[in-house]
Structure 1
Amino acid sequence: MAQWKEMKKDELERQYSPSRWSHRMTADDVIKAHVASMKEGTQRAHSVAKTLLDIPYGEAVGEKMDVYMPTTCPSQGIPLVVFIHGGYWQFLSKEESGFIAVPLVQRGVAMAAMDYDIAPKGNMDLMVSQVRRSIVSLVQQFSNISGVYLCGHSAGAHLAAMVLCTDWSQYGITPQIKGAFLVSGIYDLLPILSTYVNGPLKMTEEVALRNSPICLIPELKHSSSACHIVIVVGQHDSPEFWKQSDDFFKALKSSDLKVTFEDVPNTDHFSVIEQCVDSDSHLTQLLLNMMGEC
């Protein structure tokens, strides 16, 4: 496959249109089904968890998060999974993002989902800042957390990776981030600058570079050397999405970071994360096993 710089605009846009690569249904239908699946799973989470809704992590109207707690919390520390939703930084919210709490709270694990100001209201620098501040706020507000585990999907995987690159000295606190689950993410923003994705984002090359985790490996190693990172990609993700994950994995591996790669069979960009509502799914088990390591 040609490198992205050699692709014509229509091919580049096709590569970065995940819905056009689904093996299950049409592009429009797979997005509708994805949102419906997330909403249904989140409704289930509300029925099995103790919910703390609209907790502020900042002063802006959109800076809120939902926390799903086990109905019976252990007396000692409790692991916390922070889910960062996708939607190409311009779609979705925390309202559909509680679905992965379903199997977690039943295993004594708390889960949080936050809103961030998606485009066009928010820009990339702001979104990265908001997600970082939400992690700080969670650690400050919930003192019984035994460890933080990030889980991000698509654009959310990018934001989770940016959290791993954070200089926490600027925040006066260092969250104990023990693991990160990065699912079908984008780690180099340069290829999307000339695509439809960048329309609402309005990123310049400078903005894209400073917010590309692939360019921040030294910072990530400094801040997150003890973190176990799992890079996940769906079998039916596009070749460019697959390459994004593979390149990031290789960059982390060459820097001697603890990283593993998972190519999940018979999944597309959307079903690969949807299966996390199921306690028996491969990804859910990987996430739970990661917590058992720490």
Structure 2
Amino acid sequence: VVGHSAGGHLAAMLMACQWQRYAADLPADLVKSGLSVSGLFELESVMRSPMLQSDLRLDQEQVLRCSPAWMPTPKTGRLWSVVGALESEEFIRHHRLIQQAWGADYVPVCEAMAGLHHFNVLSSLAEPGTDLNQMALTLCR
């Protein structure tokens, strides 16, 4: 799976999900790999943003339950995390946090992409031959 921003959060949540809790016949490695682009991995900072909190209305319990960085490291798969090097310090912090939380074995790629910001990083993903495009293709193999 690949996700950007809140979608990067969802990619990590899919990786962390204990699928057998929902259906015993689902494989533990239902989602084998993920690429999170500018992902959000702890929602405390989202809860503290008045603009976002007015719509989301997160409470502390939801923040803990829905923050991949505070979940156990998944037992299978791998997550690659990338962020534009020109993004805000908060996005860069989240990007580093998931590798710190889950470890370099599970998050072996944790790269800040030079010259890219929160929006043009997606153009890089779609452009054949770019580093990010090649990462996505590698994960698909």
TM-score by length of 1: 0.44
CA contact (8 A) 2:19 2:30 kept: no
Q: Please state how far the C-alpha of 1:275 moved relative to its aligned partner.
A: 1.9
Q: Secondary structure at the match of 1:221?
A: coil
| Counterpart for residue 61 of structure 2 | 206
Q: How does 1:229-240 map to 2 (within 5 A)?
A: 229-240=79-90
Question: Which segments of structure 1 move beyond 4 Å, counting only runs of 4 or more?
Answer: none
Match of 2:52 among 187, 191, 197: 197
Q: Could you say which structure has the larger radius of gyration? A: 1
User: Residues 61-109 of structure 1, C-alpha deviation per residue, up to 9 Å, x if partnerless?
Assistant: xxxxxxxxxxxxxxxxxxxxxxxxxxxxxxxxxxxxxxxxxxxxxxxxx
CA distance in structure 2 between the aligned counterparts of 1:194 and 1:290, rounded to whole angstroms? 34
After superposition, where does 1:236-255 map in structure 2 within 5 Å? 236-253=86-103
The letter of the residue matching 2:11 is A
Correspondence for 1:287? 136
The Cα offsets for residues 29-74 of structure 1, whole Å up to 9 and x where unpaired, read as xxxxxxxxxxxxxxxxxxxxxxxxxxxxxxxxxxxxxxxxxxxxxx
Q: CA RMSD in A?
A: 1.6
- Output the amino acid matched with 2:102: L
Tell me: CA distance 1:258–1:185, structure 2 relative to 1, closer, same or farther (3 Å): closer
Is the Cα contact below 8 Å between 2:81 and 2:107 reproduced in 1?
no
Q: How does 1:8-157 map to 2 (within 5 A)?
A: 150-157=1-8
Residue 186 of structure 1: how far off its partner (Å): 0.9
Task: Report how many residues are paired.
Answer: 137
Larger strand percent: 1
Match of 1:117 in 2: none
* TM value normalised by structure 2: 0.88
Q: Any conservation in 2 of the 1:252–1:259 contact (CA below 8 Å)? A: no
The offset of 1:258, in angstroms, is 4.8
Change (3 A) 1:204 1:238: same
Separation in structure 2 between the aligned mates of residue 187 and residue 176 of structure 1, nearest angstrom: 20
Aligned sequence identity (%): 28
Indicate if the aligned counterparts of 1:183 and 1:232 stay in contact, CA closer than 8 A: yes
Q: Map Cα deviations across residues 126-148 of structure 1 (whole Å, 9 max, x no partner).
A: xxxxxxxxxxxxxxxxxxxxxxx
Q: Residues 258, 231 of structure 1: CA spacing in aligned structure 2 closer, same or farther, 3 A cutoff?
A: closer
Which has the bigger relative contact order, CA under 8 A and spacing at least 6? 2
Matched position secondary structure for 1:237: coil
Give the drift of 1:248.
1.0
Unaligned runs of 5+ in 1: 1-149
1:173 paired to 2:9? no
- Please state how far the C-alpha of 1:282 moved relative to its aligned partner: 1.4
Shift of residue 164 of structure 1?
1.0
